[in-house]
Copies of this chain bind each other. A is one copy, B any other.
Amino acid sequence: MKNEQQFLDLIDSYFVREHDFLQLGRGDDCAVLAAGNQYCVSSDLFLEDYHFRRKYFSAADIGYKALAVNISDIAGMGAKPVAFTMDLMAPADLDDAFWDEFFKSMGNLARQNDIVLAGGDISRADKLGVSISIFGVSGSTGFIHRTNCNHGDILFLVGDTGLARTGRLALEEHGLAARDTYPAAVAAHLRPKPKVLIGTLLNAAGVSSLMDLSDGLARDIPRLLGPDFGADIQLSADQLNSNVIAYARDTGLDPLEIAILGGEDYALLGTVSPFEAGKAESVPGFTRIGHVTQTPGLTVNGHPFTAQGFDHFSK
């Protein structure tokens, strides 16, 4: 298997996509299960040396982020997380102080979001890893899916783009010393803030589609829009966090390219009809970044954007 898509195609060839209990299938932020009321469910891996480095992630950072990235998938449905299960891969060399920090930090995040740990499994393993499955519910407005936009819809973002990528690049280069130079970027990579409340507000505001921005605008916008639509993006450097600008200047990179490639920002990305945008525009942090076109593909400030964003898998 050369890339994630090959895995997904093979899986599709052997696993049904429709089922009485499955209201929304694979491919969105979460699946939706129903027996009476509906649950959305999502599952994410958080693996040492693939998703985090122990060199600059503290035990508390790891415990926090493993759960935060899962909560973000629930936010991407405009839903509220209620419970999760955790499968923990625990190397023998980590001491009790490590685990205390790890669970305390994760437990705090769970408490802040009023989520219960429902169960899981623990095993020895060579490297530290966490696999979490998370469950969410929605109010009367249901869940917000991907690929539900229309031509002319406003494309919007709530949260930063490119900031976590800046943090990751700076941490890889300078270790925790990067914290002094790019504090917001480092925080965005180590402790991303899932936007549950924003997601439920956008849901109530009637946006047409929504997802959490985990792999960067270049990869995630096509996933949001589906194969029939494209987007014209208008993005200027002064919309970016000053850490992104500073890092781009220090390294000779293009700040807009960092912002478009992004990755792990866990911002919310969505579309809303221009005729129903009033409520959504009043959601804190709502930023219009472009509009939906009838031609697939992305243009950024009028220029076609072809480079691929961050691919966790082929990395």
A binding-site residues for B, Cβ under 8 Å = 1, 4, 6-8, 10-11, 13-22, 25-28, 30-31, 33, 35-39, 41-45, 47, 49-51, 82-83, 85-90, 94, 96, 99-100, 103-104, 106-108, 110-111, 114-127, 129, 131, 133, 135, 137, 312-313, 315
Contacts and interface: CB of A to CB of B under 8 A. Distances in A.
25 contacts: A1-B96, A7-B88, A7-B99, A10-B103, A11-B117, A14-B104, A15-B116, A16-B111, A20-B82, A25-B116, A25-B118, A33-B82, A33-B135, A35-B36, A35-B82, A35-B137, A41-B83, A42-B85, A43-B87, A44-B121, A45-B87, A87-B133, A123-B312, A124-B313, A133-B133
Given A41-B118, A43-B131, 11 more contacts: A7-B99, A15-B106, A15-B107, A16-B110, A31-B83, A35-B82, A43-B119, A45-B121, A50-B125, A121-B131, A122-B313
Contact of A19 (B28, B38, B82, B119): B82
A26 B117 contact: yes
Contacts of A123: 45, 47, 50-51, 312-313
Contacts of A117: 11, 15-16, 26
A6 to B, nearest CB: 8
A249 B83 CA distance: 49
A43 B99 contact: no
B7 A90 contact: yes
Contacts of A120: 26, 43
Query: Assembly of this chain: how many copies?
Result: 2
A116 to B, nearest CB: 3
Contact of A26 (B42, B118, B131): B118
A236 B12 CA distance: 48
A268 to B, nearest CB: 19
A21 B82 contact: yes
A88 to B, nearest CB: 7
A199 to B, nearest CB: 18
Contacts of A14: 103-104, 106-108
Given A50-B125, A82-B21, A126-B127, A44 B118 contact: no
A76 to B, nearest CB: 12
A35 B39 contact: yes
A121 B43 contact: yes
A18 B89 contact: no
B133 A100 contact: no
A166 B39 CA distance: 41
Contacts of A30: 119
Contact of A43 (B16, B110, B111, B133): B133
Nearest to A70: B121
Contacts of A131: 43, 45, 87, 121, 131
A42 B11 CA distance: 22
Given A26-B118, A44-B121, A21 B83 contact: yes
